[in-house]
Amino acid sequence: MTVSSDVEFLALLVHRGRLDRAQAEALMARMQKGGAVLDRLLESELGWSAEKVEGLRRTKAGAVPEIPGYEILQELGHGGTADVFRAREKKTGRTLALKVLKPESAEQPKMLASFVREANLLKSLEHPGLVKGFGPAKFVPKEGPEIYFAKLECIEGETLLELLDKGQEFQEEVALKLILAVAEVLSYLSSKDLVHRDVKPGNVMLDHNGRVKLIDLGFAADQGAKTSQEGSATGTVAYLSPEEARGGAQADLRSDVYSLGVTLFQVAVGRLPFQSSNDEDLLRKQVQEALNAPELKGRGFSPHLSYFIQKMMAKEADVRYQSWEELLEDIREQLKGREKLDFTKGEAAAPRQAPRPRRRF
């Protein structure tokens, strides 16, 4: 092993929580002064077995899991609590996505319970627009902590957020069709008395065949359930409804409607409706500030798009769409009528009226 590779390995061990900084600095000092080999130091100073050291090198300090029966092919993504890998199931030959819970997350009972619940929930659900789950599993290696993972359908594609970050623009009709597809999945979840609670472009995948897949039910809850304490919020800050931003809100499909409205705005316009580098300020804006979107008056957008966004993102939940069926009907009607309209020229043949607001906002 070269000195540079030993330094990189030592840094990985610290990054992955296998060593603390003080231990790493002491080992580095020994290496620099006496030319000691890192692997031997790990064995003599920390009592690690040669097998453990070799395994940690092979797996990049545990960054790449080794799970019997699976060949890890590629890392697909990583989050705060889990990493996702493309893997081949040796017994069947099928390609799966393995969502692997991070060791530090597995040590927290609530996070572990939530992870297992999500995996079982995805296994119990069946919808073409929802990522299919095949249940949770656990592996106990000879060295190191237990590995908890969930087996999922492997979707070849990218999230809407990844596409937006690459600078991709979505025309109004495409944006509405994407939101319609997501709403159909959310309607299915609602029929099972479930609220997603983390609707956002990062949780909507578009596969290579153009099909929409909703992913990540980590925050999903039963409709009406009290899921957070007063003053605390659950979900991704930029997409929280005002009632969620205040904290202590019950799981409510109308909050998902709001988050889907934010998603529609971002996909169509290319930015978030409320922006701030500070989470507290962002939450304040979502509760107090009116939606200001000058872009919706240009770029050839129809008045229908502005209507949908304003209604979905109304500050008061009672003013938003009260059911997914109501929202689906409005968007479907608009998509059917678009072929008769040409908003880019400012003229329309047989123009139709925007759906009448059912309540004022």
Report pLDDT for 84.
95
Which residues in the chain are classed under CATH 3.30.200.20? 70-153
Report pLDDT for 361.
30
Report pLDDT for 348.
38
Report pLDDT for 354.
43
What is the residue-level pLDDT of the chain in tens, covering all 361 positions?
565 688 899 999 998 888 999 999 999 998 888 677 899 999 998 999 998 899 889 888 888 889 999 999 999 988 889 999 999 999 999 999 999 999 889 999 999 999 999 999 999 999 999 999 999 999 998 777 899 999 999 999 999 999 999 999 999 999 999 999 999 999 999 999 999 999 999 999 999 999 999 999 999 999 988 765 554 567 789 999 999 888 878 889 999 999 999 999 999 999 999 988 888 888 898 888 888 888 888 777 899 999 999 999 999 999 999 999 999 999 999 998 876 555 444 443 333 344 443 333 3
Q: What is the dihedral of CA 284, 285, 287, 293, to 10 degrees?
A: 180
Compute the distance between CA of residue 112 and CA of residue 154 in angstroms, rounded to an integer: 22
Question: For residue 310, how many C-alpha atoms fall within 13 Å in the half-sphere facing its CB?
Answer: 19
Q: Is the pTM of this model over 0.85?
A: no
Report pLDDT for 3.
59
Kind and range of the H or E run holding 137: strand 133-139
CATH topology of domain 70-153: Phosphorylase Kinase; domain 1 (3.30.200)
Domain at 157-348: CATH architecture: Orthogonal Bundle (1.10)
Compute the distance between CA of residue 218 and CA of residue 215 in angstroms, rounded to an integer: 9
Which residues in the chain are classed under CATH 1.10.510.10? 157-348
